[in-house]
Chain A
Amino acid sequence: EDQVTQSPEALRLQEGESSSLNCSYTVSGLRGLFWYRQDPGKGPEFLFTLYSAGEEKEKERLKATLTKKESFLHITAPKPEDSATYLCAVQAWSGSRLTFGEGTQLTVNP
């Protein structure tokens, strides 16, 4: 059974204070690892897909990396508008469903 564990559950940062979110996974043949951002009362918003170990992708202040067991979402010099819940999900080659972790709730204080 595919499993995704995210840590920490919640993270509070000061504006400009860089940090990383962790996503550990087990999957029977990784097809892709996905990062989403979710704001309160809204659906998840796609950020990145990573396909193989060693891959990195960047978008503004966010950089996602992937190893064979985990993924990190690095946030550089965050701003208050980066406050959201960040979700990690995996998709196996055997199916189309996404298996999600429970998310990390990020708060960036001004």
Chain B
Amino acid sequence: GAGVSQSPSNKVTEKGKDVELRCDPISGHTALYWYRQSLGQGLEFLIYFQGNSAPDKSGLPSDRFSAERTGGSVSTLTIQRTQQEDSAVYLCASSLDWREQFFGPGTRLTVL
């Protein structure tokens, strides 16, 4: 079956612009996660969805970051007024239960 997909694969934006990153999880997976991977750093947790609700959003670095999930499926991560330090690879993962998270290919965001 299809894995986790993310779009766009690459996004270049100017400082101050808003961006939206999309994640399509594996069909039937109720849990969805967003992580960020910066150069030279490990993956950093951002937010966790169970269904359409987000019981853990403690990893969002500032109020410029928000995410939503609709229909228990697709999720969108929005970054407002992007800054250069937001440049990173944004990874989405989904899971049926806690034992295994399946990752997508990521969106590489570059803020100029």
Give the complex CA separation of A45 and B104 in angstroms: 9
Residue of A nearest to B50 (CB): A96
Residues in chain A near residue B103, CB distance under 8 A: 36, 43-46
Answer whether residue A65 sits at the interface, using C-beta atoms and an 8 A cutoff. no
Residues of A within 8 A of B59 (CB): 97
| A22 contact set on B, CB distance < 8 A | none
Given contacts A96-B56, A97-B33, are A49 and B41 in contact (CB under 8 A)? no
Q: How far is the CB of B52 from chain A (nearest CB, A)?
A: 15
Complex interface bits, B83-112 against A, C-beta within 8 A gives 1, otherwise 0: 000000001010000111111111000000
- Contact across chains for A43 and B104 when beta carbons are under 8 A apart: yes
Interface residues on B, range: 20 to 34
Determine the chain A residues whose CB is within 8 A of the CB of B106 once the complex forms. 42-43
User: Any chain A CB within 8 A of the CB of B65?
Assistant: no
Contacts known (A44-B91, A96-B48); A49 close to B56, Cβ less than 8 A: no
- From A46, A96, A99, A103, give the contact of B33 (CB < 8 A): A96
**A residues whose Cβ falls under 8 Å from a Cβ of B:** 4, 31-32, 34, 36, 41-46, 49, 87, 89, 91, 95-103
Q: A31-B98, A42-B105, A43-B4 are in contact. List 18 more A-B contacts (CB 8 A).
A: A4-B42, A32-B98, A32-B99, A36-B103, A42-B106, A43-B93, A43-B103, A43-B104, A43-B105, A44-B43, A46-B103, A49-B100, A89-B43, A96-B33, A97-B56, A98-B43, A98-B45, A102-B41
